[in-house]
A = this chain, B = another copy of it.
Amino acid sequence: MTSASKSQQAYEYLRARIDDGRFVPGYRLVLGQIARELDVSVVPVREAIRRLEAEGYVTFERNVGAQVALIQETEYLHTMQTLSIVEGAATSLSAPFLTAEQLQDARRINERMRRVLDDFDPHRFTALNIEFHAALYEACPNPHILDLVHRGWNRLNLLRDTSFSFVPGRAAESVAEHEHILELIEAGAEPLEIELTARAHRTATLDAVLAFTAEHKHPTAAAPAAPAAPPSPVAERQLASTTD
């Protein structure tokens, strides 16, 4: 049994370490060193890094080398906004194909999330959250959109373990909104309504995180132009302000 190619091994090795945070953003990826660790030559490692580069996981500079992609301040905003759009679409497109059984599964996952609320474990809650949403959008018949959703979630993983660690109240709201989405799908609601509800669900999390961090951020590094911004649609303004 010939194992996977060295190139593939290297890809998986790097990808795993980037995903779980052992290689933090900015971490320098030295070809020779990685090759030695894997006991291969540098050629397959280079190929793996090319793939990761094309996927946005690492940045590469000629004659300088690769490093785990740096995330800007605004990266979280952009990722969440993008995900809100593609996930909303995927959920809506997926809805007509969900069987009663699959909807039951989703509801069971949401029930487990509700129980986790009592003895709150952000990591577990986030894992269930992914499971719940995946159950709703995986039936999307358009593979491109599905791929975009997966990429969005992956990128989100890079950014921080979970949004729910930061915003206390958000988890409970989230469970309630999940139930609402389930009801819409079961009732055979208009696709657009499902899409916009799913989108709003994500946007609400984004807004909650932004509002929370805006309040709790180190006052030393306070926002320069908006010392006491009103709390409402934070996301929209923040995203707009990142045009530079």
Q: Are B86 and A243 in contact (CB under 8 A)?
A: no
Per a CB cutoff under 8 Å, which of B55, B142, B239 touches A78?
B142
List CB contacts (< 8 Å) of A21-55 with chain B. 43, 46-48, 50-51, 53-55
Residues in B with CB closer than 8 Å to A82 are 142, 144-145, 148
Whether the Cβ atoms of B89 and A85 lie closer than 8 Å is yes
Point out the residues of chain B lying under 8 angstroms from A62, CB to CB: 5
Which residues in chain A, 1-19, are within 8 Å of chain B measured between CB atoms? 5, 7
A48 partner residues in chain B, CB cutoff 8 A: 50
Q: Which of B51, B89, B93, B242 contacts A51 (CB 8 A)?
A: B51
Residues of chain A from 198 to 230 with CB closer than 8 A to chain B in the complex: none
Copies held by the complex: 2
Using an 8 Å CB-CB cutoff, how does the interface string of A139-150 with B read, 1 for contact, 0 for none?
A: 001111100100
B50→A145 contact, CB < 8 A: no
**B-contacting residues, A69-121, CB 8 Å:** 78-79, 81-82, 85-86, 89, 93, 96-97
Q: What residues on B are CB-neighbors of A79 within 8 Å?
A: 144
Counting CB contacts under 8 A, is A187 at the interface?
A: no
How near does chain B come to A32, taking the closest CB pair, in angstroms? Answer: 16
Which residue of B7, B43, B54, B85 is within 8 Å of A145 (Cβ)?
Answer: B85
CB-contact partner of A81 in B43, B85, B145, B243, under 8 A: B145
B243 to A141, Cβ gap below 8 A? yes
Q: Are B239 and A141 in contact (CB under 8 A)?
A: yes
CA distance A141 to B240 in the complex (A): 6
CA of A239 to CA of B85, assembled, Å: 19
Question: Which residues of A are in contact with B by a Cβ distance under 8 Å?
Answer: 5, 7, 43, 46-48, 50-51, 53-55, 62, 78-79, 81-82, 85-86, 89, 93, 96-97, 141-145, 148, 192, 196, 239-240, 242-243
Given contacts A85-B89, A141-B240, 4 further A-B contacts (CB under 8 A): A93-B239, A97-B243, A141-B239, A141-B243
- Subset of 6 A-B contacts with CB under 8 Å: A78-B144, A82-B142, A82-B144, A85-B85, A141-B240, A142-B239
